[in-house]
Copies of this chain bind each other. A is one copy, B any other.
């Protein structure tokens, strides 16, 4: 018997049929003897509609009122799922963030969870009642509704699992787990049985959007075991079918490389021949940071004549804005030329095994060279090596690397 938090996203509760299907899935776990709490998102499309209302009435609307409006989506689903569960003979009740209470800070629209009082919920779970929590929201210090930002229900679920000391937090999504890479590019991609928090974070931040980054960070910090599962499969037994996101220590046979991630939403900028003097990086990146432009890979080579070239990547959507900012700062920075390239892709090799295995990066470079793919920029962290290549090489690079690291399914 385990204590489980089950979380269902918007597509999993898109209509009444899907809500009834979720109820059966929850009922199955209850009948198997588990203590279950559920976290739900708004029905697919509802949040977008409510956000649209607020934006149309006022582009710069009061975030506190936005929260009061948008939080209703999850409230509806929580009540409906409780009704559907009761109809199956499962004792259930809905809980709003303010009822538990689930306390957040006062950053309306993007609040952070501060505390969840899990005692009453645990007491009820022990006597067989299923709490159905409206995800994505809580109550702020001003006694008003707060929301956690888009995708915040994942974070609600992980935080609730921590507060309930749950054995596992099952996140039901429209994929059935975390794969070694995108199966649309590599049909031989394998579903991972387990992956570490660190690897999941690296995969999430390079575009494998299975879980919200914040929820993984929270799971890592609170040591919550998270499972990613498909909400479209039949509810069968308790055998783990998805991917478990756990502490590195729980993974006995560590793969050297767990996955290949890619992102095509990048653009490359090179600032040519800037003076090689202290403070020059701050002069380049200060104005971008002030304008909330997120800079990713940064490379700087020192050259002999007292100037240097700086290359970095940004989100492609920010390209025009970034160009304008750097042109405005031309006199201050003093560069010779500004080159931009929107046709780039970032390919990343991720794996905790890299820590103890040399040659991982070299395998990457050699594999890409063999395919005639030119590497424009290289960066690396403890468990990741990323390269920037021409966008047209994305699929070729991902497939070649997937094979080179022995990730192809038999």
Contact = CB atoms under 8 A, between A and B. Distances in A.
Q: How many copies does the complex hold?
A: 2
A57 interface: yes
Contacts of A87: 57-58, 61
Contact of A99 (B66, B79, B99, B143): B143
Contacts of A68: 75, 78-79, 82, 94, 96
A233 interface: no
A57 B76 contact: no
A144 to B, nearest CB: 7
B16 A56 contact: yes
A261 interface: no
Give chain A's interface residue range (CB within 8 Å of chain B).
35 or more
Contacts of A69: 75-76, 79-80, 83
B64 A93 contact: yes
A102 interface: no
Contacts of A365: none
Contacts of A50: 76
A16 B64 contact: no
A16 B62 CA distance: 16
Nearest to A98: B98
A27 to B, nearest CB: 14
Contacts of A84: 57-58
Given A16-B57, A56-B16, A62 B82 contact: yes
A65 interface: yes
B65 A82 contact: yes
A288 interface: no
A19 interface: yes
Contact of A79 (B65, B93, B94, B98): B65
Contacts of A62: 82-83, 86, 93
A116 interface: no
Scoring A20, A80, A93, A98 by chain B CB atoms within 10 A of each residue's CB, the highest score goes to: A80
Contacts of A83: 54, 57-58, 61-62, 65-66, 69
Interface in A40-73: 50, 53-54, 56-58, 61-62, 64-69, 71-72
Top-8 shortest CB links A-B: A69-B79, A72-B72, A68-B79, A58-B87, A65-B79, A65-B82, A61-B83, A57-B83
Given A19-B57, A62-B83, A69-B76, 8 more contacts: A16-B53, A58-B83, A62-B82, A64-B93, A68-B78, A68-B82, A72-B75, A96-B145
6 contacts: A65-B79, A65-B86, A65-B94, A68-B82, A69-B76, A72-B75
